[in-house]
Structure 1
Amino acid sequence: MALSVTGRAIPRSVLYTPALDPQRLAKALQYDSDLHLIDLEDSVPRMKKEYARSLCRNALMAAPVPQLMAVRINPIHSAEVYRDLVMLLDAPIRPGFLFMTMVETESEVDCLRRSLAEVNWQPQIYATIETVAAIQNIATLVTKLDGIILGSADLAATLGVPISQSALRSARQAMALAAAGAGIGCLDTGNFHLDKPELLEAEITEAKAMGFHGKGTVHPKELPAINAAFRPDQEELFQARRIIEASEASAEGVCILDGSMIGPPFIRKAKQLLADNLAWQSFFRRTTTETRR
């Protein structure tokens, strides 16, 4: 069964942990999240930024698999971002992912990539989509990125609307379409109502229905629901294999499986699902004993 498509190793869950407490940073690694993100931005007060960078450096050095660590840096036009980058460039261990904030144009991403390339560092770069300009430029912005994640709080504040599904639906749709066209990851915002699990389920359902690949969270208790929704389960993979096998056994362009018509779009979707799952398994299921690079 040949897949003939390229799989995409996209994180399905991202656990955000502020760089404020060394014990909390260490404990975060115990949870089942594809990416463990150390936040240097919004969750860290200005007077604690330098302390946070020190904790971040130490946490990266202690991480079992640095490639599965992410750091959210400060806005690209701020003075703090340069201090973030100096710390990361000087650190003996660097994360596999960088999350940019307040990104609005592809030139900002290009500038960061060129700077990192000078020191032979090529992390995956995700951008938080949280401004009107970013949504307006999304079609070109995604061509320079490895993934995008919705920043609902800032975008909602700018629009003067609540952080709700209906208020931000058009932004989600624009992101999902652009990411699909560029073949990159598209992640949903974190849930801000930790005491209302029904809202988390609603957000997950809508994001997945729109074509999002995963979701961020600030609390580990949400990880089981996020992982269950966005990681392909065995039934999905089994049905994808059946679709491909039925198409290969048929001499026609369209075949029938369980009473349903299966044509090229369904076959393409099944192949992409299997290829993405293989890529995800290969990248995100690494053991903690893997040699650091």
Structure 2
Amino acid sequence: MRRDAAPRRAIPRSVLYSSARNPAHLAQARTHDADLYLIDLEDSVPRDGRDAARAACRQALAGGGDPGRMAVRVNGCRTADHHRDMVMLMGAPVRPAFIFMTMVEDAAEPACLRAALADAGWHPALYATIETVQAVQRIAELAHALDGMILGSADLAATIGVDIGAAALRAARQAMALAAAGAGIGCLDTGNFRLDDPGALAAEIEEAVSLGFHGKGTVHPGELAGINAAFRPRAAELHQARRIMEATAAAGGGVCMLDGRMIGPPFVRRARDLLGSAQAWQAAFGAGNRDGSGRS
């Protein structure tokens, strides 16, 4: 199948993380304007609190809202907690549309999980947190086994022994963006850890956009407006993409001129990709766009 003929994945542009150890926060999360509401069963939950967290997660999933916009981050597949997480989710009355895997090291892990869930008639989108050296080294192979990736900057930086800042992890980000583009999957940036620095979020967003990331995670609802403004489909960009497609069609599919600029196949492909991904995003997440921007 030609790449431009393949169906587009709906990629969330903003992911709001909430710890399953705090049921009040889980209920409140859905009042904020995020594309995806993620319930975390991993790092934010101490080991002795995970049974209670799983119970809270199950209750939150059943508490209303669109399961297509719910995600759960589970523990690494080499742990007993991962299997307990999945048993709980398999038996839950409502299942999330997204599973975020952790500590993934090779493509066999998402492939095995996908096959097991399919056997039960469940086909969630599988995202992996890229937070190990092995994952970065095998990023192209991993990308073809996933529906999306999100950078896990804290664990990756700690393993490498570097600062969590953008410069230290730029090579990993670039590898993720290239692999995601090659596989046609989502690529999301890590959350901002410098909540006391007003300029940190803007700098991280600028870096992620420049590298070709599709969205960003956050633990703070106050950051959603900036993330949504940067990553959600913009009306002006979509309008220009439509003009490119129309001008190309009028030229019989060949090279043409638009606003004094030559429009060739790479520009047409970019316009087609932009329109296709925006349409998929709108179908999956657009109903929750409450920012009043008029984006489509």
Q: How does 1:144-163 map to 2 (within 5 A)?
A: 144-163=145-164
Confirm or deny that 1:93 pairs with 2:83. Answer: no
Q: How big is the shift at 1:110?
A: 1.4
Change (3 A) 1:83 1:258: same
Asked if 2 retains the 8 angstrom alpha-carbon contact of 1:15 and 1:216, the reply is yes
1:280 aligns with 281
Asked if 2 retains the 8 angstrom alpha-carbon contact of 1:15 and 1:218, the reply is yes
Write out per-residue CA displacement over residues 199-250 of structure 1, whole angstroms, 9 at most, x where no aligned residue: 1111111111111100000100000000000011111111111111111112
1:218 aligns with 219
Q: How does 1:1-293 map to 2 (within 5 A)?
A: 6-251=7-252, 253-286=254-287
Q: Residue 234 of structure 1 aligns to which amino acid in structure 2?
A: A
Change (3 A) 1:83 1:245: same
Q: How big is the shift at 1:6?
A: 3.4
Q: How big is the shift at 1:95?
A: 0.5
RMSD of aligned Cα (Å): 1.5
Asked if 2 retains the 8 angstrom alpha-carbon contact of 1:99 and 1:125, the reply is yes
Write out per-residue CA displacement over residues 92-131 of structure 1, whole angstroms, 9 at most, x where no aligned residue: 1110000000001011111111221221111110000001
Write out per-residue CA displacement over residues 55-98 of structure 1, whole angstroms, 9 at most, x where no aligned residue: 00000001311121000001110111111111111111110000
Q: Secondary structure at the match of 1:15?
A: strand
Asked if 2 retains the 8 angstrom alpha-carbon contact of 1:13 and 1:214, the reply is yes
Determine the C-alpha separation between the residues in 2 that align with 1:234 and 1:6.
22
Higher relative contact order by CA 8 Å / sep ≥ 6: 1 or 2? Answer: 1
Q: How big is the shift at 1:280?
A: 0.6
Change (3 A) 1:5 1:268: farther
Q: Residue 38 of structure 1 aligns to which amino acid in structure 2?
A: I
Give the aligned length.
Answer: 286
Q: Residue 90 of structure 1 aligns to which amino acid in structure 2?
A: G
Moved over 4 A (4+): none
Write out per-residue CA displacement over residues 118-145 of structure 1, whole angstroms, 9 at most, x where no aligned residue: 2111111000000100000111111110
Q: How big is the shift at 1:191?
A: 0.4
| Structure-2-length-normalised TM-score | 0.94
Write out per-residue CA displacement over residues 168-193 of structure 1, whole angstroms, 9 at most, x where no aligned residue: 00000000000100000000000001
Q: Residue 244 of structure 2 aligns to which amino acid in structure 1?
A: I
The sequence identity of aligned pairs, in percent, is 61
Q: How big is the shift at 1:4?
A: 5.6
2:293 aligns with none
Q: Secondary structure at the match of 2:17?
A: strand
Q: Secondary structure at the match of 1:144?
A: coil
Q: Residue 18 of structure 1 aligns to which amino acid in structure 2?
A: S
Determine the C-alpha separation between the residues in 2 that align with 1:253 and 1:30.
48
Change (3 A) 1:96 1:252: closer
Q: How big is the shift at 1:197?
A: 2.6
Asked if 2 retains the 8 angstrom alpha-carbon contact of 1:139 and 1:178, the reply is yes
Q: How big is the shift at 1:8?
A: 2.5
1:290 aligns with none
Q: How big is the shift at 1:251?
A: 4.1
Q: Residue 137 of structure 2 aligns to which amino acid in structure 1?
A: Q
Q: How big is the shift at 1:286?
A: 4.4
